[in-house]
Amino acid sequence: MSVGAVQYTIRVDGHLGDAVLSAFPQLAAREVAQTVLTGYLDQSALWGVLALLEMLGLDLVEVHRVGPGMPLPEPGDGCPTAR
C-alpha cells in the first residue's frame, strides 16, 4: 500500500557538516546534541534516506513518524529508537 508523503524526523549522532547535509536536500536540519533531519517523505524516499545514512556511515539513533498536528519530538521524550 502506497501512502503519500508524511512527516518524519530522523535523528543521527553528531554534527553533520554542510557537505553531508547537502546529500539530503529534501530535509531540514537542526542540531542539538545530535542532528535532527525533518521533512515530508513517501516510503520510497524514506528508504532512500536511510540507505544514504548507512552508506555515509552515520549512526542512526531514531526515526519518528510525525502525525498531523503532533509536535516534533525532542531528545529524551521517550520516542522509540532504531539502532
Domains: count for the chain: 1
- pLDDT, one tens digit per residue, over 61-81 is 999 998 765 555 554 444 443
Task: With respect to residue 30, please indicate whether it lies within any of the assigned structural domains.
Answer: yes
Q: What is the pLDDT of residue 51?
A: 96
Task: With respect to residue 54, please indicate whether it lies within any of the assigned structural domains.
Answer: yes
Q: What is the Cα–Cα distance from 40 to 55, expressed in whole angstroms?
A: 21
Q: By residue range, what is the domain housing residue 15? A: 6-66
Task: With respect to residue 18, please indicate whether it lies within any of the assigned structural domains.
Answer: yes
Q: What is the pTM of this model?
A: 0.62
Task: With respect to residue 50, please indicate whether it lies within any of the assigned structural domains.
Answer: yes
pLDDT band at 82 (very low <50, low <70, confident <90, very high): very low
Buried b (16+ CB within 10 A) or exposed e, 59-69: eebbbbeeeee
Contact 27, 5 (CB under 8 A): no
C-alpha cell recorded at residue 51? 540507505
- pLDDT, one tens digit per residue, over 8-56 is 899 999 888 899 999 999 999 988 778 999 999 999 999 999 999 999 9
Task: With respect to residue 72, please indicate whether it lies within any of the assigned structural domains.
Answer: no
